[in-house]
Amino acid sequence: MTFANRTLVIGGAASGKSRYAEEIALKSARSKVYVATAQVFDDEMAEKVQKHKLQRGDNWHTVEAPFDLCPTLDAARPDQVVLVDCLTLWLTNHILAEHDIESETAKLVDAVTRCGAPVILVTNEVGAGIVPESALARRFRNAQGRLNQTMAVHCDHVITVIAGLPMTLKGPSP
């Protein structure tokens, strides 16, 4: 199977986007690297992370990188495929830490662009709902929209997943 260098998989919460992104990676004979951006702050998240690890199985090398994705992307080899799940949590981590989002996004784009392995990025579509009530939620929604647009420009394939069904928005289907 021929892989795109960069694939963005976008969808709403519980849309099936992560499962679909994993399926893309599993079609490859390459070794799999899973980059987890979640931070575990409560039992519910710990349970979710454990469930995902069991679901993926032992065929994945997992790297926890809630903030800096560059070292993992820079270290990726051509015989690997890297799945980053997800950019939404990565962005949340940076917003809550009050980091410069434009600077962090620029570093991410550079790392994804120079990565020596195919990269699959998972992200949430958050702009299809109502206008959030709080200033922080509106700031997040706007930053997520800008991040998604930026990453879509720099990816060869962009796929949206709705109700578990993938639809190609850019490039040929993987």
Please report the pLDDT score of residue 41 as a whole number.
86
The tokens for 39 are 């931070």
- Closest to 142 measured CA to CA, from 106, 93, 91, 96: 91
Q: What is the CATH number of domain 6-170?
A: 3.40.50.300
Give the start-to-end residue ranges of the domains of the chain: 6-170
What residues of the chain score a pLDDT lower than 50? 1-2
Residues that are catalytic: 52
Per-residue pLDDT of 80-105, as tens digits, reads 999 999 999 999 999 999 999 999 99
